[in-house]
Structure 1
């Protein structure tokens, strides 16, 4: 059975398993540490349009008709996409699915003209920290310190090598150049 990517919207019914499990996992790990309303408030902080082309993208990883992973990005600044909601189904972890989602999101961000990635993860998500460090992301915090002092752990990565040559040296924002990008 092969895995396929589906570019869609957070409003797609196939996204519900991803969103429901993210809420459950974040609430289990953090409770109301960040927000009295919990993870649902955080996941609803951005409108679905923030993850829509040409500014952003939302993808699901599908296997056998079931959503098994996903992720998204939104516009952060002229050259930077901010990754959000990278997730894999809990019973399918440790199979490289998060890395697969990460690679696809990076490629899509490049296709949309972004040359840098910015993302944050929570201090109680060591698996995510390991993934980002292993996959070439630079920690924008002291990795030897107790992560709880930071709460939110930021990372960045240069992906300028993924930007199609047609976008290089253009003085137009990526979200405006993306009209011809593969979606």
Structure 2
């Protein structure tokens, strides 16, 4: 697999984002994640968006981080927020999520971010297991879904 940076509005990123939104909608019975996202949020040096491509140059997995700082939604100064971590069903179990996560953490650290944070939900047990096994710990809720019972927030010092 070849992991490379792309813009959040790159056609492959849009395709994978549409697929992850469908998965969210199926799992939660709603329209998916309605967090407002803009391609500029993932533009270096204040963010990064990655896609893992297979040997035939097919997009198989994705993930990004964006800068967050203290404000009304519960973030802390120096936060980097993970967004749109996703692996196609046929590529799960190959370690792609861990590789993308490690690359995003390293990039956020190099950009001067102090803490990586993420929000997931109780209907994504494999995501919660990935983050727990990668050193993330539950933290105070933040973001758009901070008042939802099924929301779970995690953080890891970089």
Which structure has the greater CA radius of gyration? Answer: 1
Q: Residue deviations 1:106-151, cap 9 Å, x none?
A: 011112111211111011000000001111101127xxxxxxx732
1:14 counterpart (9, 12, 15): 12
TM-score (norm 2): 0.84
1:8 Cα deviation after fit: 1.3
1:17 Cα deviation after fit: 2.9
* SS of aligned partner of 2:129: helix
Residue in 1 that maps onto 2:137: 138
Residue in 1 that maps onto 2:97: 98
Residue in 2 that maps onto 1:174: none
User: Aligned equivalents of 2:100 and 2:85: distance in 1?
Assistant: 7
User: Aligned equivalents of 2:110 and 2:53: distance in 1?
Assistant: 21
TM-score (norm 1): 0.73
* SS of aligned partner of 2:86: strand
Highest RCO, 1 vs 2 (Cα 8 Å, sep ≥ 6): 1
User: Aligned equivalents of 1:113 and 1:63: distance in 2?
Assistant: 31
1:12 Cα deviation after fit: 0.6
Residue in 1 that maps onto 2:72: none
User: Aligned equivalents of 1:123 and 1:156: distance in 2?
Assistant: 16
Would you say 1:49 and 2:47 are equivalent positions?
no
Q: Residue deviations 1:48-105, cap 9 Å, x none?
A: 1111122111111111211111101111124110111111111111221111111111
* SS of aligned partner of 1:128: helix
Structure 1 runs of 4+ off > 4 angstroms? none
User: Aligned equivalents of 1:91 and 1:52: distance in 2?
Assistant: 29
Report 1:3-82 matches (<5 A). Answer: 3-32=1-30, 38-39=31-32, 42=34, 45-64=36-55, 65-77=57-69, 78-82=77-81
Judging by fraction of residues, say which structure has more helix.
1
How much is the aligned-residue C-alpha RMSD, in angstroms? 1.6
* SS of aligned partner of 2:84: strand
Count residues in correspondence: 143
User: Is there any run of 5+ residues in structure 2 with no aligned partner, and where?
Assistant: 70-76, 141-147
